[in-house]
Structure 1
Amino acid sequence: MRATIKDVARSAGVSPSTVSLVLNNRPASISGETRGRVLRAASELRYRPNQLAAGLVTKKTRTFGLIVPDIENCFHASYCEQIERCAHREGYSTLIRIAQNDPNKTVRYLRDFEDRGVDGAILTSTMFERPEDTNLCLEAIDELRIPTMLTDRVPPERVPGAVMPNDFLGGYLAAKHLLGLGHRRIGCVTGKLFIENCRERLRGLQAALWEFGVPFDPALVREADFQFSGDFDQLSYLLGKNATAVFCFNDTIAYGILRQMRNYSLRVPDDLSLVGFDDLVFSDLTEPPLTTLSYPVEAMAAAVVEGLLRKIEGKPDAGAKTVFDPVLKVKGSTRRLG
C-alpha cells in the first residue's frame, strides 16, 4: 500500500502536522534532528504526497492543461515539448490533449480541464477555417473559470494577452533576402490562409516587394497544408509561372518542394532558390541545408508559462502581449541570380 503522512509520522515519532511542515519546507521551530528523522522516514517509506488530497485543501493541483492542434506539424510538437519542460521547471505537471484541428474537441478538452481542476490552460491554436468554429472556441474560453493563455495561432481580436510570433517580420525577411539576391519572380507556398499567421507572412512578403518596387503577383501564391502529406504538386505550377525562387511557409512544405525537384532532376539552389520557415531539425540535414526562419521556441514557451502563472497569481500586467521576432538563417538553398 502507498505510504501516508500518518505512516511517516508514526515512523519518525512525530505528529502528522510536523511531517507536513517539514516536507513542505514551511518555517517552523523544528529542530534539525527532527527534520532529519522525518526526511529519513519519508525516504524509507517512499512517501509521495497525495496531490489530489492536497488540491482539495489548497484549491490548486499544480497542473496545466495544454491543447495543441496536431503533432504531425513538427513545430507544434517542438513547442509542446518546450512548454511541458518549462511547466515542469515551475513544479507543474501538464495534461496534453491533441485536438486534431477540431473545434468541438477543443471545447470538450477545455471543459474536461475545468472538471479536473487544472490551475490554468494553454491553447496553441484557436483559429479554424469556419469563423463560427473559431467563435465556438472563443466562447468556451470566456466561459471557463480558470486562467488561459493563447499562443501561436490566435485570432486578431485575442492578441492582447497572447504570446505571439512576429510572422509579418518573418515573411518580410524571407522576401527581402530573395529580393536582395536579385530574384523578382518569387513563388510562395503558404499554409491555409484562414490562419492569421499565414496571412501575416504573406503581408510581410508583400511589404518587401513594395519596398523593392516589385509588383505583387497573386498567381505566384499557392495555398497548401502545413502537414506532410507526400502530395506536393506546387513545383510544376510555379516553374510554369517562371519562378526563380520559392518561399515556403514551413520547412515541411520546403522539404516536399526539394524532393519534387529531385524527381525533375533539378537542383537547389542552381535551378531554384528555396526558403523555409521554422528551422526544424532536418533543415540542416537536407542537401543543401535549407535557408529558413527560426523562432526562439524555448523563450516563447517560457513566456507562455510565465504569463499563465501571472494570471493565476492575479498580477496586474497579466494581459500584456509578448511578441517574438524570427531570425533568418541563411544556409545553402539560396543563391544570387546572374
Structure 2
Amino acid sequence: MSALDFTQTSTTRRVGEDERAQILADPGFGSHFTDFMARARWTLEDGWGGAEVVPFGPIQLSPGSAVLHYGQEIFEGLKAFRHADGSVWTFRPQANAERLQRSARRLALPELPIEDFLASLRAVVAADEPWVPEATSEESLYLRPFMFAGEEFLGVRAAHSVDYYVIASPAGPYFPRGVQPLVVWISDDYSRAGAGGTGAAKCGGNYASSLLGKREAAEQGADEVLFLDSETRSSIDELSGMNVFALTRDGRLLTPALTGSILEGVTRSSILTLAAERGLQVEETHLLISEVLEQLSSGEIVEMFACGTAAVINPIGEFRARGGTWTVGDGGSGETTLSLRQELTDIQYGRIPDRHGWLTRLV
C-alpha cells in the first residue's frame, strides 16, 4: 500500500480539447507536455510527504539549489499505452521503480518506495488520461519521473531536501525517420562513463557526457554514437541512450555484460527473455569492437540493433569510424530484429497475451 496520497489540487486544464487533438495528431517526441504533474518532497527530518497532482508549470528553484551545482539528480522513462478497449497500461513499472532506487543509492538520494512510484504514475495518468493517444499506431504517453536535490545549500554533501516529480509528454517515434536502419558512429575520443562511476545509474550526467559524441556522430552523417569502455577503448558499452545487441549467423544473440558502466535497460531485459524463449542462445559478454567489426565483414554477425524505452528496438544498418565503414548484413532491417520489435510492442499495446505479467493497468 502506498504511503503517499497524490491528491489532485486542480482540475483546470491549460490546453483546450482542439489544441490537444492537434498535438496528438503529430506529437513528435518530447516537445509537448500534458496538463498536470505529480510531485512529492523528502526531507531528512520527515521523510517523504507533500504528495499532490498539480498543474504542469515551472518549478521554482533557488540559484543556490544543490542540483544546479553538483548534479545530484536521477530520472526514469516509461510509457503509458492505450489498449483497444480504451484502458491505459504501462510496461514493467516495478523494474523502473527498482532502477530508480538503485540510481538513488548511487547518487546519495533517498529511495522512493516502489508503491509510491506506482502511485505517482497512476495519479498523473488518471489526471491526464485524455492525453494518452488512441491505439491506432505506436503513439504513447511518455512518462518522466525524476528526482533532484532542491536544497538551498552550497556545501558538498548529500542534500537534506529532495524533490520528486512526474511529468508526461505525448510521444510518437523517437527517430523522426521511424523504424529505419541507423548509421552509428564509433567514438574513439569520448566515453559515456567509467569504471566506478555512475554509468549504471540513470542520471543526467551520463547523458550530458554523451552529447559531444552525438554531435561528432552527426558531423559524420550518423544517427547515433557508439561508446567504448573508458579504460581500454576496446569493448562496446552502449549508445548515447540505448543498449546494443548483435545476432550471429548461428543464432547467438550477444549483448555487452553489465559491468557497472552500462545502464541495465528494461527493454534490454525484456529482449533477453523473449529471445531465449525463441530458442536463441543469449550471451551477455564482453563485446570487443575489433571482433564485432571482423564478424560484420565476414558475415558472421547478420543483424544488430539498439534498444531502449523511447525507441523500443531499432535496427542498425551501418557503423562508421575513422578506420572505415562496416555494413550490418545487407544494410537493411533484419528479420529477427523486426520480429522481436513486433512481439514486444504487441505485448505493450495488448495485441497479444501478456504471459509474463509485465503490464500494469493505470486507468
TM-score normalised to the size of structure 1?
0.26
TM-score normalised to the size of structure 2?
0.25
Q: Which structure is larger by alpha-carbon Rg, 1 or 2? A: 1
The one of the two structures with greater contact order (alpha-carbon pairs below 8 A, sep at least 6) is: 2
Greater share of helix: 1
Greater share of strand: 2
